[in-house]
Structure 1
Amino acid sequence: MMVTSGVLSPEVLRELCSKFYADSRNVLAQNVCTKVDPLDACLSRKTLENTQHAFTHKVESEGKPITNQKNSGRCWIFATLNVIRIPFMKNHNLDEFEFSQTYLFFWDKIERCNYFLQNIVKTAERGESIEGRLVSFLLNDPVCDGGQWDMIVNLINRYGLVPKTCFPESFSSESSGRMNGLLKSKLRDYAKVLRDLVAHGASTEKIEAQIVEQMTVIFRIVGICLGIPSETITWDYYDKTKTFNSIGPITPVEFYTKYVKPYYNVDDKVCLVTDPRPSNPYGKAYTVDCLGNVVGGRPTLYNNQPPDLLMKLCAESIKQNEAVWFGCDVSKRFASKQGIQDLNAHDFKLMFGTDVQVVLNKADRLLYGQSTMTHAMTFTAVSTDSDGKVKNFRVENSWGDDHGQKGYNILTAEWFLEFVFEAVVDQKFVPADVLAVFNQDPIVLPAWDPMGNLAR
Structure 2
Amino acid sequence: MTAETLGASGAATQTGAAASLTAARLSALHESFAADPVLKQKQNAIVRVSVDELAIDHQLATSLSTTVSHRLDDWKVTNQKKSGRCWLFAALNLLRCGAKEILGVRDFEFSQNYAMYFDKLERANYFLASILDSAERGEDDRLVQYLLQTVMGDGGQWNMAVNIFQKYGAVPKSAMPETESSSNTGRMNSVLRSLLRRGALELRTLHRDGDAARLEDATARIMADVHRVLTLHLGTPPATVDWEYTDDAKAFHRVGILTPQQFLSRYTTIDLDQYVCLVDDPRTEHAKGSTLTVEYLGNVLGAEQVLYLNVDIGLAKQLAKEAIVEGEPVWFGCDVGPHMVRGDGIWDGHLYDYAGLYAAQLAMDKEARVRCGESAMTHAMLLTGVDVLDGATRRWRVENSWGEEAGDKGFFTMADNWFDEYVFEVVVNKSRLSPELQQALAAEPIVLPAWDPMGALA
Q: TM-score range by the shorter chain?
A: over 0.9
Taking the aligned partners of 2:211 and 2:348, their CA distance within structure 1 comes to: 56
CA deviation map 1:83-115 (0-9, x unaligned): 111222122210211111111000000000000
- What residue ranges of structure 2 are gaps of 5+ in the alignment? 1-11
Percent identical: 39
Q: Does 1:100 align with 2:116?
A: no
Cα deviation for residue 284 of structure 1 reads 1.0
Taking the aligned partners of 2:351 and 2:31, their CA distance within structure 1 comes to: 31
When normalised by structure 1's length, the TM-score is 0.94
Aligned to 2:97: 86
Cα deviation for residue 352 of structure 1 reads 2.0
Amino acid at match of 2:439: A
Find the residue that maps to 1:454 and give its secondary structure.
coil
Match 2:148 to one of 139, 143, 156: 139
Aligned to 2:8: none
Q: Does 1:420 align with 2:423?
A: yes
Aligned to 1:344: 350
Cα deviation for residue 223 of structure 1 reads 0.4
Find the residue that maps to 2:413 and give its secondary structure.
strand
Cα deviation for residue 389 of structure 1 reads 1.2
Aligned to 1:273: 279
Cα deviation for residue 291 of structure 1 reads 0.7
Deviates more, 1:91-100 or 1:170-179: 91-100
1:369-408 paired onto structure 2 within 5 Å? 369-386=373-390, 388-408=391-411
Q: Does 1:364 align with 2:377?
A: no
1:130-279 paired onto structure 2 within 5 Å? 130-203=139-212, 206-260=214-268, 263-279=269-285
Taking the aligned partners of 1:258 and 1:406, their CA distance within structure 2 comes to: 30
Cα deviation for residue 247 of structure 1 reads 3.0
Q: Does 1:296 align with 2:305?
A: no
Contact 1:43–1:335 (Cα < 8 Å) also in 2: no
Contact 2:102–2:267 (Cα < 8 Å) also in 1: no
- What residue ranges of structure 1 are gaps of 5+ in the alignment? none
CA RMSD of aligned residues (A): 1.6
Contact 2:309–2:441 (Cα < 8 Å) also in 1: yes
Contact 2:275–2:430 (Cα < 8 Å) also in 1: yes
Match 1:46 to one of 55, 59, 72: 59
Number of residues of Structure 1 aligned to a counterpart in Structure 2? 443
Aligned to 2:122: 111
Find the residue that maps to 1:278 and give its secondary structure.
coil
Taking the aligned partners of 1:348 and 1:51, their CA distance within structure 2 comes to: 20
Find the residue that maps to 2:320 and give its secondary structure.
helix
CA deviation map 1:307-350 (0-9, x unaligned): 11101101011011000000001111111111111012112234
Aligned to 1:58: 71
Aligned to 2:79: 68
Aligned to 2:330: 324
Find the residue that maps to 1:223 and give its secondary structure.
helix
Taking the aligned partners of 1:404 and 1:436, their CA distance within structure 2 comes to: 41
Taking the aligned partners of 2:44 and 2:251, their CA distance within structure 1 comes to: 60
Deviates more, 1:336-345 or 1:215-224: 336-345
Taking the aligned partners of 2:177 and 2:86, their CA distance within structure 1 comes to: 17
Taking the aligned partners of 2:227 and 2:434, their CA distance within structure 1 comes to: 43
Taking the aligned partners of 1:354 and 1:87, their CA distance within structure 2 comes to: 49
Amino acid at match of 2:429: D
4+ residue runs of structure 1 moved beyond 4 angstroms?
none
Aligned to 2:21: 8
Aligned to 1:436: 439
Amino acid at match of 2:23: P
Contact 1:348–1:355 (Cα < 8 Å) also in 2: no
